[in-house]
A and B are shown apart, each in its own frame.
Chain A
Amino acid sequence: MTTTSRRAIVLGVGGLALALVPPIAAALNQPFYVDLFRRMMIFAIAAVSLDLILGYGGMVSFGHAAYLGIGAYAVGIPAFHGVDNGFVQWGLAILASGLAALVIGAISIRTSGVYFIMITLAFAQMLYYLGIGLETYGGDNGMRLTRRSLFGPVDLTNPAVFYYVVLAILLLFLVAGGRVVDSRFGMVIRAARSNEPRARAIGFSPFRYKLAAFVIAGSMGGLAGALLANQTEYLTPDFMHWTRSGEIMFMVILGGMGTLFGPVVGAIVLLLLEDVLSALTAHWQIVLGPILITVVLFARRGLYGLLAGAPTRDG
């Protein structure tokens, strides 16, 4: 089976399953599930965006939560000043996080390995402390989002409507992501990950392609942040904390780097595990750690590799 047809099947089946969550939750009289799965999908969007640069581009960005935070504040700050228009807020989220990614990427992409990790981490922590310094917007306590983003007749206060908006964005990103990684552009960043000296020797200058991928991923992460602010109706600098970045990275690794769908599985499983384990014990992180290590050691392609038997990353 080709990668493309496998993707189409997974997308169809997975999309349908997720689309059935609201009616099933309604039938079971468990509205909580709509909330939980929406949260999972929002993190899935962030994880998919990270996979684009981590899995396909080989860029170990340890500061991806920065974009989540920028996106959230791009909703929260206008809302605080009475601007509730969703197009303005979400557009601002995409632009501001893309711009931040442009600056961070321009500085970090010339380095590699540990330096790259440290620089991306440092930028994210800088933004985290910047958030704490924003006294007007609640400082380290953050602030409530007085109302969800307004999109005319599309009413995000309706849980199911908001759910399907998030689902549509996730599916859109998965379809577009699938095209991008197979396109000429995708081939360049994958080639650079696979063997950068070779890519340069045949005539590619990978820098600007990697930077473009970094900006795209940052913008997607920013949109996820805008969704997250609407989800929690609260935003704090914690959105940008390095543990959050680590969590998103775990979702990608757990689900399967360079598989695009894997990070969705990773986001769902990780949040589910956190939910279940934290109900059982206060020391749930101690249980979670070994589980993650086991997956990383024994399933190189993550959970998605186990499930779909995806043999290879590249064509």
Chain B
Amino acid sequence: MAEPLLAIRGLRKRFGGLLATDQVDLDVSEGETYAVIGPNGAGKTTLIGQLAGDLRPDDGAIRFAGRDVTRLDAPLRSRLGLARSFQITSIFPDFSALANVALAVQAHTGGSFRFWRPAAGEPSLTRPARAVLESVGLGGRADVLAANLAHGEQRQLEIAMALATKPRLLLLDEPVAGMGLEESQRMVRFLGTLKGHVTIVLVEHDMDAVFTLADRISVMVYGRIIATGTAEEVRGNEEVRRAYLGEDAPPPC
């Protein structure tokens, strides 16, 4: 079998006395949507941070697309095809929605030591940016200042920025957090359309979203992966029900 797109081995990260990532091994194959679930403080965001290159692991290795990226910084990993969204919305608030996405395009098209031509007048940046905005449903909001977008729209914008980098692996940290029911359903439908085109690692508390989207699920508790399997397998797992879903979790449907 071909090497997985993402392979994590023996990953460990300690914050003082707290083991936030404890001997994590994980393989994600190309095209797969892989969910990581777990209670608050389990270490999910810490794991994403190490994959994206914002946090240095204390131990272990991360291989991405056939190369060891453990020591590479975040911009380099982005340029290799790793993109992320943040749990706490992270956009450029004082730029228009279009400029936010155009910046992501710009970061992936050669150098930026160009001093004279207005970036906003470069079709090679704005055309793909518009297309991506369109695809996430923000086509009509291109010229709105990102700070003035509704919360749900800002989440969409973040996904658009990630997609504009043409990633091979998309790391999503709670993409529907704080969204209304309808909004979150729309987001889940949209993420569903990405399935197969781009590999996704999804961290999410919304179980409907997870069970709709994920091909495989890992359950993380206190920094450790305690179970991995398909949606059915994870829902049926006794240890998971005790540790996370709770005894009175709804029966698998």
Contacts and interface: CB of A to CB of B under 8 A. Distances in A.
Interface of A: 4, 179-180, 182-188, 190-191, 194-195, 197-205, 209, 212, 312-315
Given A194-B95, A314-B99, A184 B119 contact: yes
Contacts of B112: 184-185, 187-188, 204, 209
Interface string B142-178: 0001000000000000000110110000000000000
A183 B93 contact: no
B106 A184 contact: yes
Interface of B: 52, 54, 73-76, 78-79, 83-84, 86, 90-96, 99, 102-104, 106-108, 112-120, 122, 145, 161-162, 164-165
A301 to B, nearest CB: 12
B94 A212 contact: no
A9 B236 CA distance: 69
B54 A203 contact: no
Contacts, number: 114
Contacts of B103: 187, 191, 199, 202, 204
A159 B134 CA distance: 58
A101 B52 CA distance: 32
Secondary structure type dominating chain B contacts = mixed
Contacts of B96: 314-315
Nearest to B147: A312
A182 B107 contact: no
Nearest to B122: A184
A191 B94 CA distance: 9
Chain A at the B interface: mostly helix, strand, loop or mixed? helix
Contacts of B95: 190-191, 194, 314-315
A198 B90 contact: yes
A191 B92 contact: yes
Given A184-B112, A185-B112, A4 B118 contact: yes
Given A4-B118, A201-B52, 7 more contacts: A179-B116, A184-B113, A191-B95, A194-B93, A194-B95, A198-B86, A202-B78
Contacts of B104: 202-203
A203 B75 contact: yes
A205 B77 CA distance: 11
A200 B91 contact: no
